[in-house]
Structure formats: structure tokens, C-alpha cells
Structure 1
Amino acid sequence: MPDIFELLPLNKLGAREDKQTSGKINFGLFLPGVSEEGEYELFVRVIHEKDQFLQDIPPMDFEMEHSMDLDYGDYWSATIDIEVKDKLKPYSAWGTPGKYVYRYCLKSPKKQEFIDWIIDPFAREFGVGKLSAFTLGYEHYVWNKNELEWKIPFINDIVLYELMVSEFADDIKGTIAHLDYLADLGINCIELMPLSNVEKRVDWGFAPIGYFGVDDRFGNRKDMQELIDKAHQKGIAVIVDSVYAHTSHLFPYYHVYNELGYSLDENPFMGPFAENWDDMDPRLNTDFNHKFTRDFFLTVNNHWLDYYHVDGFRYDYVPGYWLEDSENGYTKLVRDTYRLVNEKKGSSDHWQRFFEEESVNLIQCAEYLPCPTEVLEKTYSNCAWQNRTLDAARETAENPGKLTELGSLFGLIGYQPEIQNNGDKLKKTALQYLENHDHSRFICTFGTVACDNELLREGDRTFWYRMQPYLIGLLTAKGIPMLWQGQEFGENYCLPQEGWGRVLLYRPVRWEYFYTSEGRSLVNLVRKLVKLRRNNPQFSRGDHYFYNDYALYQSRNIMMFSRTYNGVFSLVALNFGAQEQVVNFKFPFNGNYREELHGQDNLKGVSAGKDVQLNIPGNYGRIWTLET
């Protein structure tokens, strides 16, 4: 029996321009439990974007009508005509095409004042801060004809790059301008930090107030479609960071019900069940025990997959809606999203990007840090965000005795490569990274530049060379290698462990580092390694074997592992110490071995099972591949 899942009727929600009648805008909003019977009145306040800061031009109020929806309860709607004759001042922009901002305002019999600044949870566009938006005379984006030919990379072949649009290149347009750089680097998938609407101009985006569009600080919905369209044309998939476990206090399904004094039991969306941060109001947790909540976020996923053509999601803070032993939380969301996509197989539209032979290449990445193997085994997630490799690398930099653990993690020991779930066969893997948005740059581990202000502390880039063996290991290891913006040329911000300075400080990528000697050395190495990985499937799809011999290797700061695929064998030898080391190794196959990094230490006439002396330079490595 097929899964039953439901999507909210977006055709009656949010602000929508009536294409049949010029100047007519339809509004729709679900507010379960807020009805006419309680003598509530709801208004939509609208003003042209050009007028919003002018003191003599107030917004116009339009009263909304109440009705009941059979599935979701109380529904409020209005249709307004925007006509030039209604403008209050001759210099007003009212009635002209362009962007209008709006908000909802609720009159309650229990309060003396209106509950104001209610944003539209179904808005497709946004204004500054707490304002939703729509564009009068909106012209939809025209996708490139090649979009129908685009195919998402197989999960094991991905080389991922995490970026925050505003820090990476100011806005979406700037990010588009950098796509050639990313493609040249060899990246074939980018992960965008949260794009959803938030109140502040400088913010990581993990306290959303609007989910169905792109925050105004980044650009607009057409900009976002253009970014994805052009990324696909360059062979780059796009996934988005999805924050579904918690919201801002301004999210209307918290804000309205909190202002009305409703208890948590009366709230149709929020709930206390999830793991809570000590400094966070538990009422800000979304509650997937509610059908409305489940349908809302599945509709968000469908909207981003269909309207924006994203290729998948990185799900933030999965423990917040994991719901152990329940089918209503994260487990149901990712299964329903998979099934929703799978139902599109055989159509002739853009959904075909997910299908290659028998695979469904929807990317669903879970941030479930307590146990990433569990979330892969129990759900339809096909990859997981995991900090264990990052932690082991940082511990190794401070204590070489941790090298054995890092070697095991480069092989993703304990992760199943394929799992059957409800009859569906899914390939599984995990992300491998040394840096991400949550942590200081890896170079900070080796030393920092003295600074009295903790927020401005930076890693010492003169230690750039110590990063080399870690990068070689990362980009030849099992799993999906991920780079955090600017890592490839030595970006060196340090990040506070806690406090608002983590998320409210602007840290733009310093592209000038690209032209320094440190930056050029690192980026040349990364380019070489990414190219090696993309062109040699043993590094992306092959078996991994860690040569765990402490006396022979780890005690001398050496890590050895191999990657093998369809008879092609490569040995990766890494030296995490400062001194060159000469070690013995028995190759499993006769033949000639090509050194991949520089080609200066090729091995001729190697006999299988015989000791070969290998020279491994300090703070660097070597990669030997059997010539076939």
C-alpha cells in the first residue's frame, strides 16, 4: 500500500497575484483556533516598498474573511485591488508595479492593542526584517532548456562545498559569479547555509520566521532560481540547509499564540517534546506530533524541490524532531520526501534529475551528531553530517597518539554502504570534513595570532603546511569530502565556542588570501586532489583499508591506507610529523606504481609481498597507484 502524505494547498496560502485581473492580490493564512467566533479580526497591512520609510505614507489595512478548512481549521483570506487612484499622496508608489511589503495584524477581544508584526508563514518573498512581500507584475523565471537534461551526481561521487551566501560573495548574484571558480576547483555539489527569512541582516539563519522563499538580504526568488539553473549547467548540484526543529520567537505559530496566552496544548504547531538548549524557550520547538506541522514541512520540501529545483537538503539538528520509536518526526519527513520524489519517475519534466538507472539520487543529509550511523540505518537519509573525523583530526594535531582513530574514521568504520528500508534499496555514506560553519578554522589548531579580543582571534597562516597531510587524507578518504568556504586557500577565522558572537559577527571570505604564497600552495594542492578524486573512482567508490600497525607506522606519525575499485589499487601514505620518514610497505600486486601528487617517486618493477622502502616527506604525503 502506498504511503499517505499530504501537502498544504499553497494555491490558497500566502500572497498570490491574480494573473487574470491586473492589480488583484489574493491572501490566505491558516490560524487554527483563531476564529470569528472568538470575535477576532484579522487585517493585512500593505505598502509599496518605496514608500515604507516615508513618514507621511502609512500602510493600507484590508480586513480578511474567516472560513473553515476541512483539514486544517480556521482559514483567513482577502482579495485586494491595488489601484493608482487609491494612493494617499501624489508621490506615493502605490498602484505601480514592483515590490510591496505586508504583514498581518490581529485584533483580539482579550487585548487592548492589536497583535502587530505577524509575518506570513507562507510568503514567497520577504522585505526587511519582519515584513513579508509580493511583487506586482511578477515575471516568472525562464529555465535554461538544458535543465531537463541535468542529472544529480551519484551520492558517492560528490565533492561538497559548504558556503554562506552573504559571507561567500555578498549575495546570490555574487555567488553566481563564483560558480566558474567552484566548477574549476572540481566541486560538483554546494550546500547553502540557511536561506530562510530571519529578522536580522547579519545572522547564520538558524532561527527562521519564513520558509517558502529566500531572505531579502541574499536576493529574491528569481535570483535563487538563476543560481541553481546556472549551477546545474556547470555540473554542480545544490542542497539547502533546512532548519525544521526550532524557529524564532517571531514565527507566527509561536508569536500569535504566545501573545494570545494560549497554552502549549492549544498551539497547533509548536511543542515541548524535543531536546532543548538551556537558553532556548521550549515553546520554540516545532512539534511533529501535529499533523499541521508535518504537512507544513513536507510542503516546504516539495516547494524547494519543485519551484527552485534544489537537489536535496541538509537537515539541521535532527535530534530536535527525531521522535524515538515514532513515525511522526524526522523519520516520516525524509521517507515522505523520498516517496514524493519517487512518484515523479517517468515524467518528462525537471523531476527526472533524480533518476539515473535504478537510483533515486535525492540528497538527504542528516545532522544527527549523537549517532550518525543510527540515523542512516533507521531512516531514508542517504548521508550524514558527522563531527567525529573533525574531532579526531583536531585531537591528532595536538596529540599524535590519536592518529589511529583518525585512520579508522577516514575509512568510515561502522557505516553500512547500503541499507534496505521498506523495500527501497538506498546507498549510504557520511560527510568527511575538517572544517564547517560550527567550528574554528582547522589552521587555528596549530597556533593563533595574538589578539586581546576573542571575537577577532585568527589562526596563524604561517602554519599552512601542517594542513597538507590532513587535506590529502580528507580528499582520498571514504565518504563525501566537504570543504567550508575559503578552506582551500587557508581562511583562518577562529570561532567562539559559545555566545552571540558566533552567529552575529560577519566573517566574509577573504579572497585576497587566494593570491598569497600560503593560499596558492594550498589551493594548488586541493585542486590536484579534487581532480584526482573525480577522475579515479577508487577514491570515491572504492574499498578502504587502513594499515593499522602502530610500531611500523603510527608511532612515527605515519598513516597508511589503500583505496581499491575494479582492480585499481592506490596507496595513500601520509606523514603528520615534521621530519621525512622512510618506511617499509608490502604492495599486494606486482607492477609499476605511479606517484600521483608529483610523479617524482614512481616505483618500477614492484614485487607483491616484498618490502619496498617508501620516502614520505614531512607534513605531506604520497599517493601511489598501480599502473594497468
Structure 2
Amino acid sequence: MYESFGAVVDGSRVEFRLFFPDNAVDPSQYVRGGLPHIREIRVRGDFQSALGGRDWDFASALVMRREPHPSGWLYRAEIDGLAEGYYQYKYFVTFENETTRWCSDPSTRYGGSDEHENAAFVIGGNFTRVRPLARPLPLKELVLYELMIDDFTADYRGALAPVDAVAAKLDYLEQLGVNAVAFMPWTSWPGGGFSWGYDPVQFFAVEYRYVHDPATPADKLFKLKSLINALHERNIHVIMDGVFNHVSAGVDPNHGFPYFWLYMNPADSPYIGPFERGGFFEEFDYRNGCVNQFIRDVCLYWLESFGVDGIRFDYTLGFFRRGSPELGISKLVADLKDALAERGRPEVALILEHLTDNRYQAIDDTNRICAGACWFDPFMFEAQRSAGAGVVDGRTLRVLNASLDFAPGKGPVTYIENHDHSAIVHEAGGRHRWFKTQPAAITLLTSPGTPMIHNGQEFGEDYWLPHEGPGRVQPRPLRWASRAPGSGDFAGERLYDVYRQLIRLRRDHPALRSANFFPYPFNHPDGYGAFPETGVVVYHRWDEQERFIIAVNYSDFDRWVDIPFPTNGPWQDLLSGETVTVAGWRLDNYRVPSNWGAIFFQRV
């Protein structure tokens, strides 16, 4: 429903549509909240001079008319005859108490060009439809690349729009071997400055600074769709980051989430109110049907109009109510799965970031919610601890057996760093100790789950972040010229080669993508397990066609290890290329180099 509101363009004609729910008309719309108490709404913008008035002028502004809607009320106004271009507007609202307010459009497709948080529309420009993936894959088959558009492109984009600059690096991503890009939020945020995007204000709109090119002002959405098409042509999946727990309502009545300030008394807004665990900006009130429908429609808009192949749902703990499948994230996931099944897209990835105090509780909650996966922080915490101290213990086995306790068809997204935390190279002691991260890379790409690489991790970016506070949201531009492959930097070149090799091995071998893992929960007498005295981990992965024995040495010393095997005969170490012959179901006194490992392979 909400995707049909906003500024709807047909040729040179624009119809503005602004909806308000009313529980007297449709009781399902809200159980808490009220009416906006509006006397008049005018549409003011920089299009008015083209129609004979003055831009942003009150007297010549369009007056919207109120009409009944099956779920409430709809305000409408139309204009025609505009030339091609990018136009900005806002609603100027006069309330019943004679106060006035400038409000943006909650369903706008375009963000404004400056700090005023205008809405916008486009006449003309280029158009393309997003073409679906030729071979969509289930989540367990993917290797994700978490990409922050600003940071990824800052070092080289020059005058290019950031999404165009991402498109210029697709050969690099394809050569690295990843087959999915997990974009950090691209929806509009307040102010127009740098942001990670977790302070959303316009949910249907792409952030202006990501798609703006002065030479082609009407091509903003075309740019993002073209990028997605280019990724799909390489069979690279696109995962968007959706922030649906909260909004940036703001404190200035003329700025912030429109469905907050469009109400004379913002406390009457049925969209905003306490629900579960907030703490970040202002919460959506998922007790109200209008919120569920708004967020569902936002998700389907990106899934259908932009053909995204999955959504990561940020901070789902904030809109999860255990035991209430009819509310919050549980209902949202169920509704989306039903809609996607009807559209023949059951493979779309629905991923939770579910930050329970006990991170393992997120597994049970993911099963209850029936999402496809959740982020698995314990893998990162353990990897960074081991990289820094060179130690392994019983906790290591638990995180490597990452798919444990997930229901069939569900699993973890594993990683050794992400946007929320310092880089693993930093946690390992600094870039001069880049080699300490190699064992973590080996386990990441050979353990159960869906592995994710944070942009720059593959060539050893080493940014530090504080654990909490506003200082965490800071630019971390990738230093392509001095650290990436081709720069001549030894650490960057070496790590890139390691990741490229490991990603290829994972994609080539289905057994490495299975949930099968041994041993757990304890070390096995034959020699499988995590051994603190040597810093070595030995584990077994398999499926019906392949067997793997993986030995990883986290210590700073070469270790001579007796490695167990399930069968005798030849096994190939896919890291070194060496073939060994196993007799007596073990390889005695085998050298595992420091901060490195062996991936022994045998076909069944």
C-alpha cells in the first residue's frame, strides 16, 4: 500500500499522495495513537516557478484535498507540465491549533540535496528494470562481502557518484571470489553528511549523496538499479541492510521522520512509540497494524523494484517479542516469506542481527522467528581473542561448530570482523602482525555457516573502533592506493592471496558448506579437538562426496602434530598442494607452520 504513496510520476504529471491511518475507519490500523489534527496541507517546492509561481512560495503552493481511504484518509494534489529534472518539495502543514510545520514525505523515493531533509521526485532521466539473478543460490552457498559504500569508494571515486564508483570495482569483487555483497544501509538519513545509515529517516529513498552526479541529476535511482544489474550479471547476490527497529525522529519539528512530525502532537503518532528494547533513536510501535504494513511495504518495494536478493534486519532484538508471533519481526518475516513464496522467490535471504546478551540465545530466537540466519558474534569474538593471544580452548570448538542448534534450513552468518568492531588485524596487534589473522581466515572459510568478509579485511585494513558511544560512527576509508593488491604492500598482497584461495576452495567444495563438524563438545582421544598446549585445532568436515581434515596452528611456533584421519590412503593439502599418504588412520609428527594450517582433502 505505502509504495503507492509519495510523489507518483507519470510522464510530466505528478500526483502527491499522503496517507494517514484512522482506527475509526479500520480498527486494525492501531491500538495506540490518534489523528494528526490537520487543517490544511500545501505542497511547496522548487517546481513552483516552472508552473508560474515562485519556488517554495506559500500563496502559489498546491493545496491538498482530503479523501476517504479504506484504512484512513488520503491527501492528494496534482501538477503537470514539468520539464525533465530533479525537483524537491516538502509538505507545509497547518494544524487545527494554527501551528505550522514543514514535513518531508514518508513515502518519497528520493532524498533531498541538503540538510533540510526535503523529499524529491524526478521527471525523465534514464530508466532500467532490475534483471533477476540467473542462478539464485541459497544462503549457505554464499560468501558475503560487507560493503560500506562511502568507505569503499572514498579513496578513488573523485567526482563519481559513490554507487557508480562501486560499479567500477566489480571486477575486483569478482576476482576475489565473493558471490554476494551485503551493503550497509543506503536508505536516506538526516543531514546529508557522513553516516553508517543506521539513523533512517526516509525508508523508500536512496541516500542523496550516494547517487548524486551533477551531470545526470535525473538518473539517481537508475544508478542504483544499474549497479544491481551489473552485480547480477556476475551472479553476485545483493543483500540490503534494513533498519526497521527505530527511526531518527529528530528534535526539530521541521526535520526528522515525517510520520512523527505530521501529527500536531507527535505523541499521537501511531508509528512511533515504545515496543520492546529501544535505546537507539525512536522506536517503531509494532503493536500497531500501520507500522507492520509500512515496514512490510518498504521491504517489498526494495525486493521487487530493486530486485535485492536478501535483507539483513538490523537490531531485531528491539522488535522481537518472544511468544508473540503476531507482532514485530516474527510477523514481518512471516509476511515476507508468504509474499516471496507467492512471487516464486523462496530463496531470498532473511538475516537477523539479534544481539541477545547471551549471543547463543539468538539461535533459538532465529528458529522461533523462522528467519534464514542470524549474525553469529561468538565466532568473531573467539577469532579475535585467538588472533591476539594465539590461544585455543573448548570455546574454539563451539564457535567453529557454528551451525549447532540451528533448525534445518537455518544457520549462522560467520565473520571475524564487521562494521561494528575494530579490524581483526588491529586486534591481532597491528598490521606488522597481519600473519596472526591467517588462522582465523582459514577457520572462517572452512567452518559451517555463511562466511562474511568486511570490506578491506581481505588486504589487512586495521582501523580501531571504540566499543560504544557516538565516536564509533566514523569514516574508515579503504586505502586502495597503499594497501590493496597491486599497491606493492606485502601484507596486503599476501592476505588478499590467502582470502582469494580460501574463498575459491569453499566455493569449489560442497563439504565445506555443509553443517557437518567433528569433534564437539570435547576433544576426541584420536587427536581431534582444540589443544591449548600447542595452539592447534584439528577438525573434520564432510558430506557424501568429500572429506576434509583441517589443522590450524594459532601459535607463533611451528608444531609437529599427530593428525588423525577417517581413512587411509592419499590426501591432498589444498593449501600447499602437497599430497600425503596416510597409514594407520593418522599422519604422525606432521609439521603445521606457525600462524598457518593445512586443509587435507579426499574424495569419497
Shift in alpha-carbon separation, 1:271–1:608, aligned structure 2, 3 A: farther
Give, as a single letter, the amino acid of the residue that structure 1 aligns with 2:447: A
CA offsets, 1:34-67, max 9 Å, x none?
999956111111115999xxxx954562111112
Q: Name the residue aligned to 1:580.
A: 558
Any residues of structure 2 matched to 1:100-249 within 5 Å, and which? 100-112=87-99, 114-116=100-102, 118-128=103-113, 129=115, 130-143=117-130, 147=131, 150-170=134-154, 171-200=162-191, 201-219=193-211, 220-249=220-249
Deviation of residue 585 (structure 1)?
A: 2.0
Give, as a single letter, the amino acid of the residue that structure 1 aligns with 2:427: T
- In structure 2, which of residues 562, 580, 585 is the aligned counterpart of residue 603 of structure 1? 580
Distance 2:460 2:494 in 1: 9
Distance 1:468 1:148 in 2: 36
- 8 Å CA contact 1:126, 1:132 repeated in 2: yes
- 8 Å CA contact 1:286, 1:293 repeated in 2: yes
Give, as a single letter, the amino acid of the residue that structure 1 aligns with 2:354: Y
Shift in alpha-carbon separation, 1:335–1:287, aligned structure 2, 3 A: same
Give, as a single letter, the amino acid of the residue that structure 2 aligns with 1:273: F
- 8 Å CA contact 1:49, 1:99 repeated in 2: no
Give, as a single letter, the amino acid of the residue that structure 2 aligns with 1:603: V
CA offsets, 1:396-450, max 9 Å, x none?
33455553212321111533351xxxxxxxx111111011110011111122xxx
Q: Name the residue aligned to 2:446.
A: 476
Structure 1 unaligned residues grouped into runs of 5+: 1-7, 83-94, 346-353, 355-359, 419-426, 448-459
Distance 1:480 1:293 in 2: 31
Distance 2:518 2:167 in 1: 39
2:262 is paired with a residue of what secondary structure? helix
- In structure 2, which of residues 591, 597, 604 is the aligned counterpart of residue 615 of structure 1? 591
Q: Name the residue aligned to 2:159.
A: none
Structure 2 unaligned residues grouped into runs of 5+: 23-32, 155-161, 212-219, 250-255
Deviation of residue 323 (structure 1)?
A: 2.0
Give, as a single letter, the amino acid of the residue that structure 2 aligns with 1:585: I
Q: Which has the higher contact order (CA 8 A, sep 6+)?
A: 2
Size of the aligned set, in residue pairs, is: 551
1:369 is paired with a residue of what secondary structure? coil
Deviation of residue 627 (structure 1)?
A: 4.9
Distance 1:229 1:137 in 2: 20
Distance 1:58 1:119 in 2: 13
Give, as a single letter, the amino acid of the residue that structure 2 aligns with 1:500: P
Deviation of residue 68 (structure 1)?
A: 2.2
2:514 is paired with a residue of what secondary structure? coil
Residue 253, structure 1, aligned to residue 237, structure 2: no
1:520 is paired with a residue of what secondary structure? helix
- In structure 2, which of residues 329, 348, 353 is the aligned counterpart of residue 367 of structure 1? 353
Shift in alpha-carbon separation, 1:159–1:262, aligned structure 2, 3 A: closer
Q: Name the residue aligned to 1:16.
A: 8
Give, as a single letter, the amino acid of the residue that structure 2 aligns with 1:431: V
Any residues of structure 2 matched to 1:213-362 within 5 Å, and which? 213-219=205-211, 220-249=220-249, 250-257=256-263, 260-263=264-267, 266-277=268-279, 280=280, 284-326=282-324, 327-345=326-344, 354=345, 360-362=346-348
- In structure 1, which of residues 537, 540, 543 is the aligned counterpart of residue 513 of structure 2? 540
1:543 is paired with a residue of what secondary structure? coil
Deviation of residue 139 (structure 1)?
A: 4.2
Q: Name the residue aligned to 1:496.
A: 466
Distance 1:522 1:110 in 2: 64
The root-mean-square deviation of aligned C-alpha atoms, in Å, is 2.3
Distance 1:159 1:568 in 2: 20
- 8 Å CA contact 1:35, 1:74 repeated in 2: no
- 8 Å CA contact 1:441, 1:492 repeated in 2: yes
Which stretch of the first structure deviates more once superposed, 235-244 or 96-105?
96-105
- 8 Å CA contact 1:315, 1:365 repeated in 2: yes
Give, as a single letter, the amino acid of the residue that structure 2 aligns with 1:271: G
Residue 527, structure 1, aligned to residue 500, structure 2: yes
Q: Name the residue aligned to 1:625.
A: 601
CA offsets, 1:101-131, max 9 Å, x none?
111111123244x211x11111111222401
Which stretch of the first structure deviates more once superposed, 551-560 or 126-135?
551-560
TM-score (normalised: structure 2): 0.87
Shift in alpha-carbon separation, 1:38–1:295, aligned structure 2, 3 A: closer
Distance 1:413 1:578 in 2: 29
Distance 2:372 2:35 in 1: 46
